[in-house]
Amino acid sequence: MDAMSRERTLIGGAGLDLEPARRPTREEAMEAVRTLIAWSGDDPRREGVIDTPKRVVDAYGEWFEGYAADPAKELSRTFEDVQGYDDIVMLREIEVESHCEHHMAPFLGKAYVAYMPTNRVVGISKIARVVEIFARRLQTQETMTQQITDAICDSLKPAGVAVLIDAAHQCMTTRGVHHRHVTTITTQFRGVFKTDATLRQRFLDFVNRG
C-alpha cells in the first residue's frame, strides 16, 4: 500500500470516503508560497523573498519525506539469532523533528523506544528510522506515539513495546498562549510493559537516567 492509499485508509477510518488528493506540481506549490507571502503583507517579487518559494518547497520535500517511506519495510529485516537474549532493547533520546497537523508548526523533542523481543530482533538503527518516518508527516504527537508503537508491534511481534516522546510545540511557544519552556509527554505501553508495573518502571528509570 503506497503512502497516498494509506492516507485514504486513515481518512476512511475516520468515517470519510475521500478520493486521494492530487499532488500539486512543484510550480503550483511555489505559487502557493507566493500567495502566502503576499497575504502576510510582503511583495513576493521583492529581491529578498523572490527565491523563497523554491527554498520553501525544497524544505517541505525534506520535512515531509516520511509520506514516501514505509515503516514496515524498515522493520522487515530481522535477526533470529539472539543468543537467548530476553530483556529490554531500548533506544534513548532519538531526535524528533516534526510538524503538527493543526498549524503546521514544528515540534521538537526526544523519543524513547523499547521493546521486549521474543525470538527476533531488528537492527537498532531501524527503530530510529521508524521514528523519523512518522515524524516527517503531519500528525499530532499523540498519533505519532501510537503509530510508532503499532509499527513495532505489527512487524516484530514482541512481548511488549514502550514509547515515550517529550517535545516542545512551537504552535504553543510562538503563537497563542506563548508559553515557553513547556513540553508535552506522550506514552504508549503494550504487552508486558502494560501489564508488568516493575518492567514499566524500569523503562521510565532508563528514560530519566542522567
Residues serving a catalytic function are 100-103, 141, 169, 171
181 grid coordinates: 519552556
The mean-pLDDT minimum among 30-34, 178-182, 203-207 falls in 178-182
Q: Would you state the pLDDT for residue 7?
A: 45
Q: Does residue 134 sit in the same domain as residue 162?
A: yes
CATH classification of the domain holding 202: 3.30.1130.10
pTM (2 decimals)? 0.86
101 plus 50 within the same structural domain: no
Give the residue-averaged pLDDT of 190-203: 97
Category of 39 on φ-ψ map: left (φ > 0), alpha (ψ -120 to 50) or beta: alpha
Q: What is the mean pLDDT of the chain?
A: 90
Q: Which pLDDT band, with edges at 50, 70 and 90, does 6 fall under?
A: very low
Residue 74: inside a domain, yes or no?
no
Can you give the pLDDT at residue 12?
A: 39
Measured CA to CA, the distance from residue 100 to residue 71 in angstroms comes to: 20
CA distances from 179 to 6, 36, 111, 141, 173 (A): 35, 26, 22, 18, 5
Residue 120 shares a structural domain with residue 189: yes
Report in angstroms the alpha-carbon separations of 109 from 73, 165, 169: 25, 7, 9
pLDDT digits (tens, 9 = 90+) for 76-126: 998 886 777 889 999 999 999 999 999 999 999 999 999 999 988 999 999
Answer yes or no: do 155 and 195 share one domain.
Answer: yes
Phi-psi region of 119 (alpha: psi -120 to 50; beta: other; left: phi over 0): alpha
At residue 210, the pLDDT reads: 61
Residue 105 lies in a domain: yes
- Whose grid coordinates read 506515539? 145
Residue 72 lies in a domain: no
Query: Do the domain assignments include residue 191?
Result: yes
My answer on whether 119 and 56 are in the same domain is no
pLDDT of 163 above 60:
yes
Domain match, 49 and 89 both: no
For residue 154, being part of any structural domain is answered with yes
What CA–CA distance (Å, rounded) separates 62 from 136? 8
Query: Do 194 and 129 belong together in one domain?
Result: yes
Are 120 and 185 contained in the same domain? yes
Residues 54 and 90 both lie in one domain: no
pLDDT tens for each residue of 128-148: 999 999 999 999 999 999 999
What is the residue range of 34's domain? 3-63
Please tell me the total count of domains within the chain.
2
Gap between the Cα atoms of 18 and 59, Å rounded: 27
Last residue of a domain, one of 23, 39, 63: 63
pLDDT per position as a tens digit, 115-133: 999 988 999 999 999 999 9
Residues 46 and 118 placed together within one structural domain of the fold: no
The reply to whether 86 and 174 lie within a common domain is yes
Q: For position 19, which CATH number holds?
A: 1.10.286
Whether residues 90 and 179 share a domain: the answer is yes
Q: Which residue has the higher pLDDT, 162 or 22?
A: 162
Residue 31 domain-assigned (yes or no)? yes
In the block, cell 539472539 appears at 82
Within a domain: 68: no
Residue 84 within any structural domain of the chain: yes
Q: What is the pLDDT of residue 1?
A: 43
State the average pLDDT over residues 184-204: 97
